[in-house]
Structure 1
């Protein structure tokens, strides 16, 4: 009888631990560093395979963990973290050449769902509502920031920004803002007979006035998240949306966007003026 009680107790304990420990999937690569933000400082962290991934608690912010793949790996591994508030997290880590989200913010994961987000909630007609979607620029910003897939299908607002060559046409179709978030939408049209593959664009804020007597300070800026792809097969098109922390430029600066072809030399560059950046269409205005 005592043995039976002990087994039941252990089963209940393991179930409680599994419910309490929050689990999600992290995608990491060798090229990009991913960050996970927690509500409180991390007091314990563990990796299941230190040969596949590198992880560390950020010294300046003890509530952040930085992760990066040491090399490509096929079998998933895991990272666990314990917050000072007692909350335990376990993440399954998989390899991805171009992760969709480079920043995962767990601080909003403990909120109570809204009424219309309750599982199984139904509309008036009896139709089951779809659960709310994740994966937005608001993975690091709170509030009701538009999702990247929603920005992707918005009406085109820009027609004068682009570059072309080698049968490839790249366009900046939209620059939008929502509070302290800047969105940029790019499209690629491959008119050549060879596939065009770009893992990611490189964004550099440069000085418009170069002089031999002055030092030029170029600043590379990194997107917070992305949705879509810049790769396109022969005769095909592609589209991608990037979100950034609030971006503004002075009149002496310009944003250069560099597109480097994977395994090829069809590299292109696009220039975006401070006027286009600073006058980004506000998505707060309905």
Structure 2
């Protein structure tokens, strides 16, 4: 009988120890489903490692003082990182958020001679669906997913439809055209095109979106309302001679009164071949709707 009681209490203690573990696993499991698996990498003191991300780097957080990191000059999507001391034992980490809303996490160990010093995360992302993965929401985009906004920019660019036929400007051998206006979830997408008919490259200095009075002669700074693009599909660069380039700009939704127009101005660097487009409210309210599921335009 004593042996029976001993066996009973042994089972009772075993069950009592298992139940809290099971309960703990149940509590942890929902969070585990959202785990972002870290990438493993090695750094050293005498050499610099470089990571090339698909889009511009927006945020970097280092897990300890064992690491130092910075963006490469004139390369918004390249991060350089190395050890700040000649050797460290514990593993550390760092995290990166890019402009397309992607969150990256890296676990880092010290190695005096790492096998790899350069990492191309652009190639890695091409292997996955661009609409999947973790997405960080940015204040300026509201509830819009950065990766979906990027996909819409890319879709408009690649489909290259010429919907608007009446908005364009041409002078000095440069033609600037607004090919389409699209709308999705409270955001405008402006599709533009530049044709350089000359042999002289057209170097773009900057582009302006602003709302002004129709009576331009009476225009003042107070009457101008700048509209800052939230995203641009391609960097503003150079249009080589005898070539055509297009771009897509993402802006917040807005409308204007009948006595005002939206001006889209593009300025040449160290030149005078500036171009200006005028968009009226009737053009804005006819913006083509983009459907979420199949990105139908």
TM-score (norm 1): 0.56
SS in 2 for 1:216: helix
1:105 aligns with 2:137: no
> What corresponds to 2:38 in structure 1?
19
Contact 2:131–2:148 (8 Å) recurs in 1: no
1:151 aligns with 2:147: no
1:263 to partner: Cα distance: 2.6
Question: Structure 1 residues 45 and 210, CA, compared in 2 at 3 Å: closer, same or farther?
Answer: farther
CA distance in 1: counterparts of 2:253 and 2:200, whole angstroms: 36
CA distance in 2: counterparts of 1:90 and 1:213, whole angstroms: 47
CA distance in 2: counterparts of 1:167 and 1:150, whole angstroms: 29
> What corresponds to 1:132 in structure 2?
129
Question: Structure 1 residues 268 and 214, CA, compared in 2 at 3 Å: closer, same or farther?
Answer: closer
Question: Structure 1 residues 282 and 45, CA, compared in 2 at 3 Å: closer, same or farther?
Answer: farther
1:272 aligns with 2:279: yes
Contact 1:200–1:230 (8 Å) recurs in 2: no
Match of 1:167 among 153, 164, 173: 173
> What corresponds to 2:227 in structure 1?
221
SS in 2 for 1:197: strand
Report the count of equivalent residues.
206
For structure 2, the residue ranges without an aligned partner over 5 or more in a row are 1-35, 41-50, 82-92, 106-125
CA distance in 2: counterparts of 1:27 and 1:217, whole angstroms: 35
CA distance in 1: counterparts of 2:64 and 2:100, whole angstroms: 16
RMSD: 4.5
CA distance in 1: counterparts of 2:62 and 2:270, whole angstroms: 43
1:281 aligns with 2:281: no
CA distance in 2: counterparts of 1:213 and 1:165, whole angstroms: 23
Contact 1:168–1:190 (8 Å) recurs in 2: yes
1:246 to partner: Cα distance: 1.7
> What corresponds to 2:267 in structure 1?
260
Question: Structure 1 residues 45 and 159, CA, compared in 2 at 3 Å: closer, same or farther?
Answer: farther
> What corresponds to 1:246 in structure 2?
253
Q: Deviations over 1:105-148 (max 9, x none)?
A: 358x89xxxxxxxxxxxxxxxxxx95212699x97413955521
1:253 to partner: Cα distance: 2.1
